Amino acid sequence: MDEVIQVTQWLSSITPRKKAKLFFFTTHADAPSPMVGSNDVDTHEETQLPLATTVALHNFKNIDEFLKKKVNTFSCYNVIENEITKTDYEYLRFYSACKYLDVAPPFLDLEKISAIQNKFEMTDEERDYRLLLDSADLVLEKVCDSLKPAGVSQMWTALRQDRNLIRGVKTIDIIGFFVDPNPTGIKECLFFFIVRFLQKADKINRVNTNRLERLIAQCDESSSCEEGKTIDFIIDSLRFYPTELYPFGFCLIMCVIEGRDGAMQEIEKTMEISRHLGMITHTEKNPTKEAIELVKKELMKPKYQFYSSFTCWFMSHGDSNSMVLADGETIEREWFLTSFPDISTFQLKPKVFFMVSCRGANKFSLKGDEFEGQSATCDYYDIGSALVRNRMLDITDSVRDISYVQPMMDTLVAYSTILDHLSGRANTHGSIYVDRACVLMSENISRGRSLTEILEHLSQDLHEILQETMDEDRIVYKQACHYDSFFRKTLKLPYTRHPKEDVHSAPQ
């Protein structure tokens, strides 16, 4: 069959709502630029004009033309070895969006997709189409689904009233002030236009969503929310780090085995909980300084930008400032913690570090006969409240900026013990902190708990456990853990254990 006819039939089989979503996912706002092969096309026109004309004319002609153009580009594209191009990213995004929406064209060249994945050096686990979807876009899709056409229309009216923001933007004028979002697919096009416009204007990104939340907060709840949804529910969904679908993130496990009884148990436990959470995991046993540098270099590869989060377990002996490696060399804990968060592939994404080592030799000792022989070691205000808001300092958009970010932002560091104190371990099972952390995370999958809630529970649980030193004094003591957080959103554990779906992977 002629390719033009195939494309036409494919487009005619897609509903307007899915066309709007396919366009949205394909025109991902954070696509890397500049890239090899980029022709510096005006992305503002490419991503917003088709949406604007569709809303204004109630006609999907321009979106259809955009999708046809993409298909033709991919059809003629020759995969160049080694060099990763802008088209490579676009092809993967298009493929994953089609799979997610269940509109994959039968003529899509899966061999090309496999060749592109080879260029990204993707493992078998990483060839799951869900990795290629942008989790922030998936959250925005759910927000759109929670709003009625009237709600999106009210958001548009609120946006149009911000004259400083929309001044001189042609696509805004194309849509006009009054919009009828009720025809099928028009609500989605208008909402996605608002989102992409705010992203291009540097008003929102995957972490900073306050400007979008303020638009939603101005909607009338009775007419703007789908059944079972509320304004608060919709806004709350934007206040979590986007970690939708599989995988939950990338997990790096570094464990010094030499001279640490139970270290293999630590690795097994952390690998098991990582799999339960739906993470793709890499393990470094007995890491050296050279190995750590190689891992950092590896994480800078382009494929890691597809991950939604980063978690690192580092388990070793240590003191107040340093961690001891298997070869006897030491590394500064502060150096380790500040070098990883600066990796560009995980910028604006949650990064969690579990630092499991002693930070000194002090102990919170317990004295008394009753303890002998007891040991286990054998937005600061409610955005919906105008009354409160009016009494607060008026922070205008002109003094806000989301472009520049401190490297440590969106990072959480969890310590197995407090400064200058021991971190206890069992003879056969390794770190007690690791054991309890893995147990609590496993128990709280599907309960909607956030990571910080679990860490607070862990702090309570660990501090109840009586431990005993391994030396001849056999001192009974307690251990206190804590964490330092630079999070700007809440990180929730996934509701389900996400297995890898082989059936959705491109052919090898």
* β-pair partners for 330: 324
Measuring CA to CA, how many Å separate 299 from each of 53, 156, 294? 41, 40, 9
If we measure between CA atoms, which residue out of 360, 317, 363, 316 comes closest to residue 474? 363
Rounded CA-CA distance 206/357 in Å is 33
| Each residue's pLDDT tens digit, 411-448 | 999 999 998 888 888 877 889 999 999 999 888 877 77
* β-pair partners for 476: 468
pLDDT tens digits in sequence order for the chain, 508 residues long = 677 888 999 999 999 999 999 999 998 755 444 344 444 444 556 779 999 999 999 999 999 999 999 999 898 899 987 789 989 999 999 999 999 999 999 888 999 999 999 999 999 999 999 999 999 999 999 999 999 999 999 999 999 998 888 888 888 989 988 899 999 999 999 999 999 999 999 999 999 999 999 999 999 999 999 999 999 999 999 999 998 778 889 999 999 998 888 899 999 999 999 988 889 999 999 999 999 999 999 999 999 999 999 999 999 999 989 999 989 999 999 999 988 877 889 999 999 999 999 988 887 666 665 555 555 554 333 334 444 445 455 667 777 888 888 888 999 999 999 988 888 888 778 899 999 999 998 888 777 789 999 999 999 889 888 888 877 778 888 899 999 999 999 999 886 554 544 434 443 3
Write down the pLDDT at residue 388.
42
Rounded CA-CA distance 245/496 in Å is 9
Structural domain boundaries of the chain?
1-29+43-239, 249-364+406-486
Rounded CA-CA distance 378/474 in Å is 11
Please state the pTM of the whole predicted model.
Answer: 0.84
Rounded CA-CA distance 117/136 in Å is 22
Sheet strands side by side (includes 330-332):
317-318, 322-324, 330-332
How many residues are there in the chain? Answer: 508
Fold adopted by 249-364+406-486: Rossmann fold (3.40.50)
Write down the pLDDT at residue 360.
86
Show the tokens assigned to 175.
Answer: 């849509």
Write down the pLDDT at residue 383.
38
Write down the pLDDT at residue 364.
66
> What mean pLDDT, rounded, does the chain reach?
86
**Residue given tokens 């560091």 in the structure block:** 413
Q: What is the largest CA-CA distance in the chain?
A: 88
Q: What are the backbone dihedrals phi and psi of residue 18, each rounded to the nearest 5 degrees, phi first?
A: -70, -30
- The three-state DSSP-derived secondary structure of 147-194 is ECHHHHHHHHHHHHCCHHHHCCCHHHHHHCCCCCCCCCCHHHHHHHHH
If we measure between CA atoms, which residue out of 136, 2, 7, 147 comes closest to residue 64? 7
**Bond into 494 cis (ω within 30):** no
Rounded CA-CA distance 430/264 in Å is 8
